[in-house]
């Protein structure tokens, strides 16, 4: 059985000293049946790595460049992340797609590079409100998944995060039934691409997940965990989410 995966995406929040204060408030905790990941900003990876050692938590990054090194001012490479013991990397978050003009092909190249370097990609997909209202959800998700995984042989490790754009940071969550409907479609898409080998790929829900709605979402058959923004920023609510996940495991 897959472990429930809970990933905190801090976005552009917390300095290194704030990261240290958060981790001192959170740790030690022990949720052996949950895979727990924190994705702080790049500048807090070092301090987070020091505090998370022996904690049972894994470290993630929020983005990366597809190249190993070179003239890419302001970018961070997979080699730099690996040296800090980063295990996961979020790719194609909707904020990167919309605010920083990331295209499907950029995301595909990053995903290939992450896999080559032993990083586990968390590929984000999701429809806007306008697309949902036009009935385009399935089409959008299919296009994003196919584009990012084009010519990618069955990856040894991969996580997909379904994040409806209209639910991110808005307090509006997809109902568990709405989320499950899309998760089931993604599950079927992955089976179409990789057959039985897709069974290990975890599909997370993201978009205003919090201690109030997590239980209903995580109980759904094809929801394997959560990608959590706002509710991962306070030690108390993050601990509550991990407690719920542990209980359901």
Under rule CB under 6 A, residue 126 binds ligand PGA: no
Task: Give backbone dihedrals phi and psi of 168, rounded to 5 degrees, phi first.
Answer: -80, 120
Catalytic site residue from 51, 163, 180, 222: 163
Under rule CB under 6 A, residue 228 binds ligand PGA: yes
Of the candidate residues 103, 105, 153, 169, the single one contacting ligand PGA (CB under 6 A): 169
- Look-up of token digits 């702080």: 40
Of the candidate residues 6, 230, 238, 242, the single one contacting ligand PGA (CB under 6 A): 230
- Cβ count near 116 (within 10 Å): 11
Site string for ligand PGA, 177-206 (x = CB under 6 A): -----------------------------x
Tell me if 176 sits within 8 A of 220, measured CB to CB: yes
Under rule CB under 6 A, residue 92 binds ligand PGA: no
Q: How far apart are CA 128 and CA 125, in angstroms?
A: 10
Nearer to ligand PGA by Cβ, of 119 and 227: the residue is: 227
Total residues contacting ligand PGA by CB under 6 A comes to 13
Of the candidate residues 52, 168, 186, 223, the single one contacting ligand PGA (CB under 6 A): 168
Under rule CB under 6 A, residue 208 binds ligand PGA: yes
Residue 142, judged by CB atoms within 10 A of its CB (0-12, 13-18, 19+), counts as middle
Residue 138, judged by CB atoms within 10 A of its CB (0-12, 13-18, 19+), counts as middle
Tell me if 244 sits within 8 A of 215, measured CB to CB: yes
Under rule CB under 6 A, residue 163 binds ligand PGA: yes
Q: Which residues does the annotation mark as catalytic?
A: 93, 163
Q: What residue ranges bind ligand PGA (CB under 6 A)?
A: 9, 163, 168-169, 206-209, 227-231
């Amino acid at each position: 059985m897959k472990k429930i995966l809970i990933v905190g995406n801090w976005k552009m929040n917390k300095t290194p000293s704030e990261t240290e204060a958060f981790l001192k408030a959170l740790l030690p905790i022990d949720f052996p049946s949950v895979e727990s990941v924190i994705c702080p900003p790049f500048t807090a990876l070092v301090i987070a790595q020091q505090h998370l050692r022996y904690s049972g938590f894994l470290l993630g990054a929020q983005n990366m460049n597809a190249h190993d090194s070179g003239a890419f001012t302001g970018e961070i490479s997979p080699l730099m992340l690996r040296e800090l013991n980063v295990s996961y990397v979020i790719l194609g978050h909707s904020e990167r797609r919309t605010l920083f003009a990331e295209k499907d092909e950029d995301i595909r190249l990053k995903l290939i590079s992450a896999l080559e370097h032993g990083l586990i990609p968390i590929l984000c997909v999701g429809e806007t409100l306008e697309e949902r209202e036009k009935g385009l959800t399935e089409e959008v998700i299919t296009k994003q998944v196919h584009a990012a995984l084009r010519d990618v042989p069955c990856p040894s490790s991969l996580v997909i995060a379904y994040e409806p754009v209209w639910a991110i940071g808005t307090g509006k969550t997809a109902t568990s039934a709405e989320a499950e409907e899309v998760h089931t479609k993604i599950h079927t898409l992955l089976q179409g691409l990789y057959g039985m080998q897709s069974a290990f790929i975890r599909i997370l829900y993201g978009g205003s997940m919090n201690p109030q709605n997590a239980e209903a979402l995580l109980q759904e058959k094809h929801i394997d965990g959560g990608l959590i923004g706002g509710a991962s920023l306070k030690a108390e609510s993050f601990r509550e989410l991990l407690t719920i996940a542990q209980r359901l495991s």
